Amino acid sequence: MSIAPYAPSTTTTLPAPRAAALRDAFASGRLIRAAGAHDGLSARLAEESGFDAVWASGLEISAAHGLPDVSLLGMAEYLAGAVAMHRSVEVPVVADCDTGFGGSLNAAYTMMRYEEAGVAGVCIEDKIFPKRNSFVNSGQKLLGVEEFATKLEAAKRAQVSTDTVLIARTEAFICGLGLQEALTRCHAYVDAGADAVLVHSKAVDSHEVMSFMREWEHRAPVVVVPTTYADFSADEAREAGIAMVIYANQGMRAAITAIRDTWATVLAQGSTAAVEPRIASVKDIFAISGMDAWLEMDR
């Protein structure tokens, strides 16, 4: 999509009803469940399924472009994906903004552009730009605590609406730096203005995030992404006091498997007859995309 040059707003606040809803949900103490998506359709399917929010996944957006999640795309592509999701659903969209796409000025500009687009939450992580996906086994490097705190401060100063949620993501566990480093970083990030912290882990069980929760004492809402510790339940998250659980990429992974199976069957059998009973109808696509409402507008 074409993005106009940014011009600072002359108003003191921006209307952000979904940002306010997200902030209220964090404040309420109830568990927020978010589903990863990469475009309007995948976001709408997440909303249709009953998720409380949509995670504009950097991994999914990169993969949808046929590229790995190693900072090859720029803010324009990620923002376009988040905007498409925001326009397609009524639940809050939380954007995975990687490292803020550069230094402190880039982080500030990221906040400006995502906020003016209506995105409810912006998540920035403490890796060095360019970053690699957390599940790549090499090249994981973190910014110094003070340098990343400065980046968060810049993003917060650029924020216009008091409702927009800034989430600071630490990759301390991903880099093998342990509990104390994760705690030190998250305390510094909240001091710098973060509204919530995302504590990422690729352990095979939940022991890292649970150890963090025991020591954190609920200073700010905590977000987790249980990709590798898949048996971690919503009930366990609630009991631990976790604020948000993000199922960041399962939707895309399920779609890849289904599409592969479908095309393999079509090629093997020479027609689509065998797959038609188990795939969505064209009418279903019309319904999801709001065909009837658009045709009504044209009458």
Q: Provide the 3-class DSSP secondary structure of residue 180.
A: helix
**What is the residue-averaged pLDDT of the chain?**
94
Question: How confident is the model over 186-223, as pLDDT tens digits?
Answer: 999 999 999 999 999 999 999 999 999 999 999 999 99
pLDDT (mean) for 240-269: 98
Residue 139's pLDDT is 78
Q: Which of 66, 59, 126 is nearest to 95 (CA)?
A: 59
**Helix%, strand%, coil% for the chain, nearest 5:** 45, 15, 40
Residue 56's pLDDT is 98
- 126 by Cβ neighbours in 10 Å (0-12 / 13-18 / 19+) ranks as buried
Which pair of structure tokens corresponds to residue 283?
Answer: 């009418």
Residue 12's pLDDT is 36
Decide: 252 and 56 in contact? Cβ < 8 Å: no
Euclidean distance between CA atoms 4 and 275, whole angstroms: 44
Q: Which entry of 24, 52, 69, 195 is annotated as an active-site residue?
A: 69
Q: Which of 88, 92, 64 is nearest to 78 (CA)?
A: 64
Q: Is the pLDDT of residue 88 over 70?
A: yes
Q: Is the pLDDT of residue 4 over 50?
A: no
In the chain, where the domains are located? 17-248, 257-297
- The tokens 């990343």 sit on which residue? 148
69 is catalytic: yes
Residue 1's pLDDT is 30
Question: How confident is the model over 27-77, as pLDDT tens digits?
Answer: 999 999 999 999 999 999 999 999 999 999 999 999 999 999 999 999 999
Enter the pTM of the model.
Answer: 0.92
Q: Own/partner pairs for 232-235, CB < 8 Å, 24+ apart? A: 232/205, 232/206, 234/31, 234/33
Q: Provide the CATH topology of domain 17-248.
A: TIM Barrel (3.20.20)
Euclidean distance between CA atoms 101 and 228, whole angstroms: 26
Residue 16's pLDDT is 61
Cis peptide before 130 (omega within 30 of 0): yes
Q: Is the pLDDT of residue 9 over 60?
A: no
- % of residues, the chain, pLDDT over 70: 95
Q: Is the pLDDT of residue 17 over 60?
A: yes
Confidence of residue 14 (pLDDT cuts 50, 70, 90): very low
Residue 5's pLDDT is 36
Confidence of residue 161 (pLDDT cuts 50, 70, 90): very high
Q: Is the pLDDT of residue 286 over 90?
A: yes
Residues 6+ apart with CB under 8 A from 133: 59, 68, 69, 70
Question: How confident is the model over 136-153, as pLDDT tens digits?
Answer: 988 789 999 999 999 999
Main-chain phi, psi angles of 213, to 5 degrees? -60, -35
Q: Which of 82, 56, 25, 63 is nearest to 246 (CA)?
A: 56
Residue 297's pLDDT is 93
